[in-house]
Structure formats: structure tokens, C-alpha cells
């Protein structure tokens, strides 16, 4: 009861504040639990055996993963492990994948993923890759959309809290990164109170258009603000990327108060073509920095890490014209560029208006030097000189905007839990609809490209109490699907998401599904420990290491009886799945293994490392129901005491008479 | 042989060249787990799968019932057949050139006999594979043989097996049919003429 009261009081005060700020009467439906008509079901019903129209990629927040859903059905398709280990497939456990999670801080098997970004060609989704950030220990990952697996991770030096990331440019030339937490650059031991003198923000451009070759092309040294979200321009604004900032007060403690003082913070407009010129002219300084670049080779079925030792850093003072600040009310979160590339919509989460900047006005203001002042070599443009208009009283807590390609923007409003639709040229709100509850980002398929598909909108809500069967204090997050094809937005579906999705991207299924790999061709397997035929399976001892070159096929392992292993040995089970048939992985697990089990896809090789601790005979078995005789797919490995002289012996079927 | 029959025989022989480029026969297996089907194509000189991996996967499934793996390299017919077809082409062309009626008859009869022998051999082949099972096979169904139909469709456990001629087979049929037409024309145009003369 107490909880309920608190909720009501909280709700009431929010509404009172809402009424004061916006003048809107409290909306009844905002606190009601359902507003879905029965006809909605037919709009999202995808019969069994039929496929969805869109792939939707949700970030997993604190679980460090990406979850793939189909839309409009809301059916889950896959969980992609990115910055997290996976005891199911062995990702992060096997020697082949451990290098993927190496960083300058060591092996980091977790992170906080926020913003998926689909690669683009000419400002449209091309369905090649999905990028996603690691917020905590700054990294950017590439997921290959032919396999839906993580294939590359690069660490970003000099940055803390890689939040405005990895938004990309219109031909995927770059994906960007920025500091949420400004820190001393380079890192060093200084009093926190010296924030203003010593702390810096850093914006990075990561070369992204070649798989296996991601690289921090250059970094730009920015004032010590908190950089929050980003979006790169398209069409006329191609060549520019925009970053919101808050804490322009440069507070370092009790930010909830101390960073909410300024009436206006900034959107940083960064001209990356100009930066490229300056870098080419040698104006960037090589700064020592240690960071990792990890790449998974799909033919070798093996990841490698390389350690990089320096990074190019550009000081805006040395490169005039590389960055400008656009004053923007008040603690902006989202910064979103309209599909025509002209309007830049800020989401001032404490603001009572939504500011809409004009890119062409910005260029004119730069030309006319309409500057208010300069901060660390970066001119601050006059607000009125760049503003297209202020959308009055839109809602409470506007966060993030996407576009439908028909002249409308849609902004999520966290505090008032709603989505508002507005005409961004005419600067007026045309529709609003409640969300349940506390919406963060929202998504329109292609809503950040030149050609939004404009059919659906998905709201990602932070709080889902009373929307599902209770399962204890923690609930999944909710995704709400709206039909935006008509004049009025209509809630038509609700489903629940894993982790805490911050943002999502969606792409028509047709752009991906025919390119998806079904197997790894065995003939192309270049794993150094692969065995491609049962006759080549074998066991070899190298000192204290025992290497088992094992094959798996329905429904047996070769070898399936192994003797001659001793306590103190490290056993490497190198498993090659000889299948060449879609959806026939085999699993492998051995009793007492401290590592994961592994799932080996058709044509793939993976290694499970096992250190037996006591003599005995240990079973191993297939963990993935592969065939009618799956349960028979098993074997034994005999472990003798240390120093014993049991000879090495292995077979499947008839035991060999002559022992090796 | 009249000129028309000679032409037809030459055409029938030349058509056979195409059979080197198209499969003669197609066997298809469809199962709940294989909605897309597994296909096997028999050519004059090889056996291929519908995809790069179909043959591999058919063998993988066949091992459950103890069926011998299909290894195209080990099938002697595939080594002989190209020469048989080559012989038919050469024989037909030569006969057309020489224009001897007896050669046309000989060609058609040889072709027919070879065709029957081929189908008989194919049946025997299917019988062998379907009946000669490994006694240690994991799955044994008393009284069930896995012989695919010679022509037609048949349910074998979870598999719907169908066996039909493919493009090369139809071309062969057409070629033989042309041989028969050549004979009929030959009879009509020469023998028929004589019959008309008699009453006059
Ligand atoms: Cu298995």
C-alpha cells in the first residue's frame, strides 16, 4: 500500500510540474494501462511460418549484448553476445574468442551497450554491419550481418564513458565516439577539484568502412564537458557530426544540481572533413596511448588482438573551423538530424521547448562570424543566428527524435511518458500519444537515414510495472510499437526486451535475409587445429598439453574414447563440426570443466580447455539436440594420476589392438 | 533412307550432345526437417547434389538406416556412359551420312536396347542401395526396404522420395522418338509410294 501511495504522490507531483511547465491538462490515458484496440492485433499478427517485415536490433544496456527482434510481431530472433561472455556458445571462454574481449585494462567480459548503429551507403541502410558502443570501458564493436556475430572490437583511448557512440557517417566512413565523463588527458593523478584545469573531453572518429581495419583515425580535444549523444549529418550536412553536451558548468560533484544551472548547454558541430585536412597537414599530435584492436577471422575461426601505442590528437586551436558550439537549452540529450539533412533537433531534457537548429543558418552564421564567445578555441555561435525555431511546450523531458520522411519529427518525452509528433518546418505539435512508462529513446525504421520507412515507431520504456505478470522486483523493459502510417499515432503492440535497451535500429528484412550465412564451408576452414575428416582425428601430447583433434558429426565424436591423460595435464579439445547443413550445431561439454560448454557451428572449429584435477573416467557429450541419436553422442576420457604411464590411446568403434 | 529421315537421324544424334550438359535424372527427398528438400542429379558422367552439400547430407542421413554412401567416383556406370552416348552419336551421324535404311533400324534398336538396359541397371542400383543395408545400422525397420521408386513418388519413413527424368533424360527420349519418326517417315515415303503404284 505504501508503495502505491508513493507512486501516486510521485505521479501527482510530476503531473503538477507538468501542468506548470507545459500548461497541458493532466491526461487521463497517461495513467491508464491500456489503449490498444482489438483491430491492432491484425496489424502485428505474423502467422506461424511467415516472416517479419523488419529486423530490429536492441542494445542490451548493462548486459553488454544486442537482441534481435522481428517487427511487427515482436518475436525474439537472437541474442548477440558482444561485450559479454557466453557460457552457451563459449564466446569469451574459448581461446579463439578470448582475444575479442581484451582491453588495455585486461580481459573485460562485460560492458554497457547503448546505441546500435546500422551501416549506411549514401545515407541509407546497406545491411552490412551493425556497430555498438561499450560505454564503460570505451569500445566499439562491429557485428557482421551475414553471421550475426561480433567480428571486431576497437578500444578508444583517452575517453571515459563512451556514450555518444557509435553514430556513423553517410557512407560509414567513420563511426564516432565521445567522452561522457571528461577525464585528465592523458590520464594522470590529479585532484578531482582541478577538474576545470585538467579534465578534457575527447571526440573520436573511428575508421569503420573496412572490416578488420577499424582504427582511431583522429581525436579532437574538447572542453571538459559531458558529451552525451551524437548524430552525423547527411545530404547537405554530410561532412559534419553533432554532439550534445551537458555540464558545461564543468561541475565535478552533485551534478544533479551543479550541472543543471546553465540555461543553455551546447551542441558541438564538428566538421570532420576539415579535421581530415588538418590531419593531412600534420596538425594532429601523436600522443602515446595504449589500446586494443581485436578482430575475428571467419576463415581461421580465430580472433587476434593487436595493441596500438599511439593516437593522433587534434587541438581545435590548431585547426580553426573544425568545431563550433550551438547553444541549446537545457542539458540536451538527443541531437537528431532530419532526413533532408537540414534540421538539427535538440532534446533538452530539462527544457520547456524543443530547439530546432538550421544547418544552412549555421553555415551562414559561421561565415558572418556571428559568435558569442570562444571556449578553448571553439567559437560559440549566437543562438538566434542558428535557430530555425523553438517548438513551444512540447512535453516534459524531451529526449530523442526520429523522422518519418514526411516532414514530421517524433520526440520521446521521459518525464511525461509520451511521444509527440511535430511538423518541424512549421514548428507545431500535431499529435501526442502516451507510453508505458518513462520512454527513453524511440525508433522509426530508417528514422536516422535519408529515407525513413516511416511505418512504425517503437518506444523503449524504462519502467514496465503493471504491464506484465509480476516476477519479483526486477522486470524486463518494454517496447511499444505504434502505427504511424496515419495522421494519428496508434499503439498496436507491446513486447518485452532483455537488458535495458537504450536505443534500437531497424532495417527491412529484405536488405539482410538473403545474405545471411547458413554454414561455414568446411573447405574454407583455416583454423590451425581444424580436422576436416574423421581419418585425421587424433590426440597428441606436447609436454603437459594434450591436444585432442576431434570431429563431430551426427551422431558421434571421433575419437570418443581417450586414455593416457594425466592429472596436471591441460587438455585442449579442438572440435571441428563436420556438418554442412543449416541449423545443425553440435555442442561439447566435459564433466567438471571450469570453462563454458561450446557450441560449434557447421564447418567451424572451436577449442575447449580442460584441466582435470583428479583421476577417473570423465564423460563428455553433445549438448545441442542434433539428431535422433543425440543422446548417444558421447564419449569418455580417462585421467590417470600424475606421473602414471598409461599409454596415450584413442579410438571410435573398434579399439586398436596395437597401442601407440 | 530418304533425305528427311536422314536429317532427322542426324538431328537425333546431335541432340544427344546436349545430354552431356544436362542431368538425366533427378531424385528428390523431402522431409519435415528438410522442407527445402535434398536433391540428387544423375548425369552421364557424374552425380551432383541440388546444392554443394546435398550429397554429403543425403549420405549423412542414409547412415542411420545403414545405406551405403553414394560415392560417384566408385560407380562404374558413370565412367562407361559418356562413351555409350558418344557411340550413339557417332553411329547415328555415320548412318545418316551413309543413308542405309538398315543402319537407321539398327541405330533405333540399339538405342532402345541400351535405354532398357540403362533403366534396368538404374533399378538394380536403387535395389542394391535400398536393400543392401549395414546389419549394424542404428535404425532398423523390419521388412522395410529403402529403394527409391524407379519413376514416381514414394514415402520412405519421414522422407518423401521422388524420382523423375530430368532435362537430359527428356532430351534422350526426344532423340529416340525422332529415330522412330525417321523410321515411320521412311516407311511412309518409300513403302507408301509403292503401295499407291500397285493399284494403278
Ligand atoms: Cu550432436
pLDDT at B146: 87
Q: Is the pLDDT of residue B192 over 60?
A: no
Is the minimum CB–CB distance between B56 and chain A shorter than 8 Å?
Answer: yes
**Shortest CA distance from A520: residue in chain B:** B53
Query: Cell 559531458 appears where?
Result: A226
pLDDT at A8: 39
Of the pLDDT bands very low, low, confident and very high (cuts 50, 70, 90), residue A13 is very low
Other CB atoms within 10 A of residue A567 CB: 16
Give A216 Cα–ligand 1 centroid separation in angstroms: 42
Q: Considering only CB atoms, which chain B residues are within 8 Å of A556?
A: none
Is the minimum CB–CB distance between B141 and chain A shorter than 8 Å?
Answer: no
Of the pLDDT bands very low, low, confident and very high (cuts 50, 70, 90), residue A34 is low
CA dihedral sign, ordered A421, A459, A241, A485: negative
- What proportion of chain B, given as a percentage, has pLDDT over 90? 73
Cα A456 to chain center, whole Å?
21
**Shortest CA distance from A603: residue in chain B:** B53
pLDDT at A518: 96
**Shortest CA distance from B137: residue in chain A:** A629
- What proportion of chain A, given as a percentage, has pLDDT over 90? 90
Alpha-carbon distance of B40 to A218, in angstroms, equals 55
**Which tens digit of pLDDT belongs to each residue from A94-109?**
999 999 999 999 999 9
Alpha-carbon distance of A629 to A404, in angstroms, equals 52
Q: Let me know: does A402 contact A336? Beta carbons within 8 Å.
A: yes
Q: Considering only CB atoms, which chain A residues are within 8 Å of B139?
A: 628
Strand pairing partners for A65?
A81
Query: What is the SS3 assignment for A82?
Result: coil
Q: Which residues of A327-340 are buried (b: 16+ CB within 10 A; e: fewer)?
A: bbbbbbbbbbbbbb
Q: Is the pLDDT of residue A81 over 50?
A: yes
Of the pLDDT bands very low, low, confident and very high (cuts 50, 70, 90), residue A349 is confident
| Per-chain mean pLDDT for chain A | 93
Query: Cell 558413370 appears where?
Result: B78
Strand pairing partners for A240?
A271
pLDDT at B144: 82
Alpha-carbon distance of B102 to B142, in angstroms, equals 53
Residue A13: exposure state from Cβ atoms within 10 A (0-12, 13-18, ≥19)? exposed
Q: What is the arithmetic mean of pLDDT over A255-264?
A: 90
Give A614 Cα–ligand 1 centroid separation in angstroms: 27
Q: What is the arithmetic mean of pLDDT over B130-148?
A: 87
Alpha-carbon distance of A620 to B85, in angstroms, equals 54
Other CB atoms within 10 A of residue A67 CB: 22
First to last CA, chain B: 24
Q: Considering only CB atoms, which chain A residues are within 8 Å of B56?
A: 580
Which backbone phi and psi does B161 adopt, to 5 degrees? -100, 130
Picking from A55, A130, A1, A142, the residue whose alpha carbon sits closest to that of residue A511 is A55
Of the pLDDT bands very low, low, confident and very high (cuts 50, 70, 90), residue B191 is low
Q: Is the pLDDT of residue A28 over 70?
A: no
Of the pLDDT bands very low, low, confident and very high (cuts 50, 70, 90), residue B94 is very high
**Which tens digit of pLDDT belongs to each residue from A416-435?**
999 999 999 999 999 999 99
- In order, the DSSP letters of A101-168 are GEETTEE-----B---EEEEETTEEEEEEEEEEETTTTEEEEEETTTTEEEEEEE-TT-EEE-S---B
Give A582 Cα–ligand 1 centroid separation in angstroms: 13
Amino acid at each position: 500500500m505504501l508503495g502505491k501511495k508513493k507512486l501516486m504522490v510521485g505521479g501527482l507531483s510530476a503531473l503538477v510540474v507538468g501542468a506548470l511547465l507545459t500548461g497541458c491538462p493532466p491526461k487521463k490515458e497517461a495513467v491508464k494501462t491500456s489503449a490498444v484496440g482489438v483491430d491492432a492485433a491484425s496489424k502485428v499478427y505474423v502467422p506461424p511460418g511467415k516472416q517479419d517485415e523488419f529486423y530490429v536490433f536492441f542494445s542490451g544496456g548493462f548486459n553488454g549484448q544486442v537482441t534481435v527482434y522481428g517487427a511487427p510481431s515482436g518475436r525474439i530472433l537472437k541474442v548477440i553476445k558482444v561485450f559479454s561472455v557466453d557460457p552457451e556458445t563459449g564466446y569469451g571462454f574459448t581461446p579463439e574468442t578470448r582475444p575479442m574481449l581484451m582491453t588495455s585494462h585486461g580481459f573485460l567480459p562485460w560492458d554497457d551497450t547503448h546505441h546500435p548503429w546500422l551501416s549506411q551507403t549514401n545515407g541509407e541502410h546497406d545491411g552490412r554491419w551493425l556497430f555498438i558502443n561499450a560505454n564503460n570501458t570505451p569500445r566499439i564493436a562491429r557485428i557482421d550481418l551475414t553471421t550475426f556475430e561480433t567480428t571486431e572490437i576497437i578500444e578508444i583511448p583517452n575517453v571515459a564513458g563512451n556514450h555518444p557512440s557509435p553514430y556513423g557517417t553517410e557512407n560509414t566512413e567513420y563511426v564516432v565516439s565521445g567522452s561522457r565523463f571528461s577525464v585528465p588527458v592523458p590520464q594522470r593523478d590529479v585532484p578531482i577539484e582541478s577538474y576545470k584545469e585538467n579534465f578534457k573531453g575527447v571526440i573520436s572518429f573511428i575508421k569503420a568502412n573496412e572490416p578488420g581495419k577499424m582504427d582511431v583515425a583522429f581525436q579532437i580535444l574538447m572542453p571538459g564537458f559531458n558529451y552525451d549523444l551524437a548524430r552525423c549529418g547527411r545530404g547537405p550536412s554530410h561532412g559534419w557530426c553533432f554532439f550534445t553536451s551537458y555540464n558545461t558548468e564543468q561541475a565535478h560533484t552533485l551534478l544533479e544540481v551543479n550541472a543543471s544551472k546553465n540555461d543553455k548547454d551546447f551542441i558541438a558541430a564538428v566538421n570532420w572533413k576539415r579535421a581530415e585536412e588538418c590531419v593531412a597537414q600534420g596538425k594532429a599530435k601523436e600522443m602515446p596511448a595504449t589500446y586494443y584492436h581485436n578482430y575475428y577471422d571467419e576463415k581461421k575461426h580465430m580472433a587476434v588482438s593487436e595493441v596500438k601505442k599511439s593516437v593522433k590528437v587534434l587541438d581545435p586551436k590548431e585547426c580553426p573551423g573544425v568545431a563550433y558550439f550551438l547553444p541549446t537549452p537545457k542539458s540536451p540529450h538527443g541531437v537528431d538530424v532530419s532526413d533532408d539533412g537540414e534540421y538539427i533537433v535538440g532534446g533538452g531534457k530539462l527544457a520547456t521547448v524543443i530547439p530546432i537548429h538550421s544547418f544552412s543558418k549555421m553555415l551562414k552564421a559561421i561565415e558572418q562570424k556571428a559568435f558569442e564567445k570562444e571556449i578553448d578555441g571553439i567559437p560559440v555561435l549566437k543562438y538566434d543566428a542558428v535557430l530555425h525555431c523553438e517548438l513551444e511546450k512540447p512535453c516534459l523531458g524531451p529526449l530523442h527524435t526520429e523522422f518519418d520522411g514526411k516532414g514530421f519529427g517524433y520526440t520521446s518525452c521521459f518525464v511525461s511518458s509520451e511521444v509527440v509528433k511535430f511538423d518541424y518546418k512549421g514548428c507545431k505539435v500535431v499529435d501526442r500519444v502516451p507510453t508505458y512508462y518513462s520512454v527513453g529513446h524511440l525508433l522509426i525504421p530508417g528514422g536516422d537515414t535519408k529515407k525513413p520507412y516511416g511505418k512504425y515507431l517503437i518506444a523503449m520504456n524504462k519502467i514496465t510495472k503493471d504491464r506484465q505478470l509480476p516476477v519479483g522486483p526486477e522486470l524486463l523493459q518494454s517496447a511499444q510499437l505504434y502505427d504511424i502510417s496515419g495522421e494519428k499515432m496508434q499503439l498496436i503492440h507491446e513486447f518485452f526486451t532483455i537488458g535495458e535497451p537504450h536505443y534500437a535500429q531497424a532495417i527491412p528484412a529484405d536488405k539482410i535475409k538473403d545474405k545471411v550465412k547458413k554454414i561455414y564451408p568446411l573447405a574454407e576452414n583455416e583454423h590451425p587445429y581444424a580436422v576436416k575428416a574423421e581419418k585425421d582425428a587424433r590426440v597428441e601430447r606436447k609436454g603437459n598439453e594434450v591436444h585432442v583433434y576431434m570431429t563431430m558429426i551426427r551422431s558421434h565424436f571421433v575419437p570418443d574414447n581417450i586414455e593416457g591423460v594425466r592429472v596436471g595435464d591441460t587438455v585442449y579439445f579442438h572440435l571441428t563440426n563436420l556438418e554442412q547443413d543449416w541449423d545443425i550445431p553440435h555442442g561439447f561439454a566435459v564433466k567438471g570443466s571450469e570453462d563454458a560448454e561450446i557450441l560449434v557451428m557447421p564447418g567451424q572449429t572451436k577449442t575447449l580447455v580442460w584441466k582435470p584435477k583428479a583421476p577417473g573416467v570423465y564423460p563428455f557429450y553433445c549438448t545441442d539436440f542434433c539428431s535422433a541419436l543425440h543422446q548417444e553422442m558421447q564419449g569418455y576420457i580417462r585421467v590417470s594420476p600424475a606421473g602414471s604411464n598409461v599409454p596415450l590411446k584413442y579410438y571410435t568403434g573398434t579399439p586398436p589392438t596395437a597401442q601407440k | 533412307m530418304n533425305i528427311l529421315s536422314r536429317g532427322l537421324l542426324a538431328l537425333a544424334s546431335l541432340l544427344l550432345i546436349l545430354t552431356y550438359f544436362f542431368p538425366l535424372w533427378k531424385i528428390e527427398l523431402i522431409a519435415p526437417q528438410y522442407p527445402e528438400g535434398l536433391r540428387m542429379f544423375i548425369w552421364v558422367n557424374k552425380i551432383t547434389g541440388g546444392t554443394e552439400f546435398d550429397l554429403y547430407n543425403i549420405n549423412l542421413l542414409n547412415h542411420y538406416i545403414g545405406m551405403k554412401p553414394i560415392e560417384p567416383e566408385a560407380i562404374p556406370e558413370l565412367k562407361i556412359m559418356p562413351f555409350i552416348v558418344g557411340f550413339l552419336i557417332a553411329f547415328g551421324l555415320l548412318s545418316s551420312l551413309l543413308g542405309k535404311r538398315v543402319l537407321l533400324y539398327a541405330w533405333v534398336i540399339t538405342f532402345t536396347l541400351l535405354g532398357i538396359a540403362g533403366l534396368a541397371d538404374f533399378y538394380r542400383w536403387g535395389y542394391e542401395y535400398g536393400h543392401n543395408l549395414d546389419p549394424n545400422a542404428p535404425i532398423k525397420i523390419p521388412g522395410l526396404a529403402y529403394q527409391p521408386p524407379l519413376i514416381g513418388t514414394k514415402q520412405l519413413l519421414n522422407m518423401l522420395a521422388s524420382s523423375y527424368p530430368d532435362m537430359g533424360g527428356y532430351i534422350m527420349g526426344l532423340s529416340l522418338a525422332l529415330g522412330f519418326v525417321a523410321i515411320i517417315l521412311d516407311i511412309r515415303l518409300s513403302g507408301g509410294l509403292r503401295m499407291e503404284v500397285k493399284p494403278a
